A and B are shown apart, each in its own frame.
Chain A
C-alpha cells in the first residue's frame, strides 16, 4: 500500500505523462470536433444522388429504387434520375451524382471514388440481389410460401439499414473512436514510467528501491495498479468529455465501452512496459518510440484518413488485427453500429492476446535479479 500510494503520487505529478495521457487527447478531441462539427451534426444519411441507366427494364429493381427515392419519405436514401449512359457519365464527371447503376442482365455500379455514399449504393444493390435471389430460390422450392406470406419477412425496404444499425450512421465518430484507441496506447507512458521505477538499471531511484527489502514483484504490482488507475481514469475523462462535452455518440452499450477501455488500458500499460524493458536506449528515445508507434497505429486505424482503416483491412488484414488502435476503434464502432456483440468480443480477444504478448515478454525480461551493468 505504501509503494502503491507513492507510485500513484509520482505518476500523477509527472507533468509529461499527464499531458500526453490526459491533456493531449482532450486537445485532439476538441480539434476533431471543430474540424468535423458540420459532419458531426448530421444525424441521418445524406440523400445520395444517383442515376440509373436502364439498358434492360427491370420492373422489380426500378420499383425498389423508386421506393428508396420517394421524396420527403423518412426512408428516402436516393435522389434518382433515369438517364442515358452518356448523360450518366457526364453527371458523374461533373460530380452531380455519387455514381450510377447500369441495369442490364446484371446490375453494375459505376463510381469515381470510394466513401460512405458509394458504400450505401453498393449495400443497396447487394441487398436487392440477395433478396431477389432468395425470392427466386424459395419460389423454386416452395411456391406456396408466397401465399402463406413467408416472404413478408424478406422485405426490400430501408429497414435493412435501420435494423442492422442503431439508427445513427455518422461515420465521423470513427475519428473519435480512434482517439480513444490512441489514448489507450498513450498509456504506454505510464507503463514506461513503472518500468523505470522497477528496473534497477533504468533509474537511480529504481536502484535504491531494488536494494531495499521490498520484493521486485510487489513493487511491480504496486506500480501496475497505480499506472492502471492513472490510465483508466485518463481514458474515462476523455470518454466523458467526448460524450458530454462534444456530444459524440457511442451508442447505449456503456458497460461494454467501459470493459473495452479497461482492456485498452491494459494493452497501453503493457505496451509501455514492453518498450521500457526491451529497448536498450535512453528514456527520451523510449518515450518518443511510444508516441511515434501510437500515432502510427492511429494513422492505420483511420485517425487522419478514414479510408486507411479499410485499405489496411483490404490489403493487409493481419496489420489490422495486430494494431490495438484499430481493434479498439473497430470494437467501439461495432458496439455503435451493430446490434450483435460477436465482432466486439472478437476485438476484445485480440486485444487481450496483444496485452499478453507485451506483458509476457516484458515479464520474462524483468525476472532477472541481477544486472550485467548499472
Chain B
C-alpha cells in the first residue's frame, strides 16, 4: 500500500534535550496509526516537526511522496490538524470558527458550506452553531476543535491528544468520528497517552519513549511480543502467604505482585491458567472474594520495555 508519510532518521533537539532521536516512521494510506507514549516522550514534537512548524537537526520528511516544507501548499491542502490545545477564536461563534479555518483551504463558498455542515454533524454540534466557545463545555469545545481541523475533508489527519480532559460521552463521540473519517478514506495519525483509545482505534501502534520508537506493530503483535501472556487477579478474604509461596513454584508464572489481600499473577502462556488456579484454590480450601483474567495491556508492553508505567 502507498506510503503517505515517510520519516527517516529525524533528530530534533531543544538545547541539550534530544526530543526526537533518529526517529524513522512510515504511515500507509488508510491507516490509523497510534503514537503512544508518556507525556514528554516526543509525540507532539514529532507532529509539529512533520508539519514543518519546527526546525530539525537532521533527517528527512516526505508526505504524499513530496518533501514537506513550510511553503508546500499543495501538501498542506491535504492535511488536517487537531492540536492538543483548543485552537479556536473566542470572538467567533462555532459556525464562524469552522468557516474561518475551512475557508483557509476551501475557497468555493458552496462547497465550503456543505463541508461545514458535514463537519458539524460529525461532531454533533448542530445545536450549538451560534454559541461562542466560552459558552461550550470542555467536551463540546474539543469537538469544535476537531471540526475546525477536519472540515475541509483532508486525506491526512493529525490528532494530537484530542480527548484530553473530555467527558466519556464526548470521548466516544470523538472516537466514533475518527473511525468515520478513516472509513471515508482519511489516513490518521493519532497521538495519545490513553492506551485504551489506541487499542480501540488504531490499526498500527508506535510506542515512543524519550524521542525514540521502542516498539511498533499491531495491538496483538505488541502484546504477543512480551513475555506475559495472561494476567490473573485474585482478591482473597485473608492473607494467604503460604498459598502465594506455593504458587511461586509454578514455572509458568513469571511474577506475582501483592497488594494487601490481592495478588496479580503474570503467566508466560495463556492456556487454562484460570481453570487451574480455581482448582488449586478449591483444593487448598482458600476463600476468595473475586478472581478474573485479562490479557496484557499496552501498559504492560511499555512496562516490560521501559520498566515504568505509561502514565508516569
Contact = CB atoms under 8 A, between A and B. Distances in A.
Interface stretch (B86-94, B115-123, B217-225): B86-94
A282 interface: no
B92 A213 contact: no
Contacts of A81: none
A224 to B, nearest CB: 17
B53 A205 contact: no
Given A10-B89, A14-B91, A211 B103 contact: no
A6 B95 CA distance: 12
B92 A6 contact: yes
B48 A215 contact: no
Contacts of A60: none
A2 B104 CA distance: 8
A208 B81 contact: yes
Given A211-B76, A372-B55, A205 B89 contact: yes
A9 B92 contact: yes
A214 interface: yes
A204 B96 contact: no
Given A207-B87, A211-B81, A373-B14, A10 B51 contact: no
Contacts of A2: 100, 103-104, 107
Given A10-B91, A208-B83, A371-B55, 11 more contacts: A2-B100, A2-B107, A13-B91, A14-B91, A204-B87, A208-B81, A212-B76, A213-B77, A215-B71, A369-B70, A373-B54
B104 A9 contact: no
Contacts of A372: 14, 54-55
Contacts of B70: 210, 369-370
Given A3-B104, A214-B104, A370-B55, A208 B76 contact: no
Query: Which size bracket describes the interface of A in this complex?
Result: 20 to 34
Interface of A: 2-3, 6, 9-10, 13-14, 200, 203-205, 207-215, 369-374
B269 to A, nearest CB: 47
B159 to A, nearest CB: 13
B91 A212 contact: no
B96 A6 contact: yes
B149 interface: yes
B interface secondary structure, majority: loop
Nearest to A2: B103
A6 B112 CA distance: 15
A213 B105 contact: yes
A215 B73 contact: yes
B100 A6 contact: yes
6 contacts: A9-B92, A208-B83, A208-B101, A213-B105, A214-B104, A374-B54
A373 B42 CA distance: 13
Contacts of A3: 103-104
A369 B89 CA distance: 23
A371 B56 CA distance: 9
A10 B90 CA distance: 8
A2 B106 CA distance: 10
A208 B105 contact: no
A211 B53 contact: yes
Contacts of B148: 208
Contacts of B55: 370-372
A369 B71 contact: yes
A244 B249 CA distance: 97
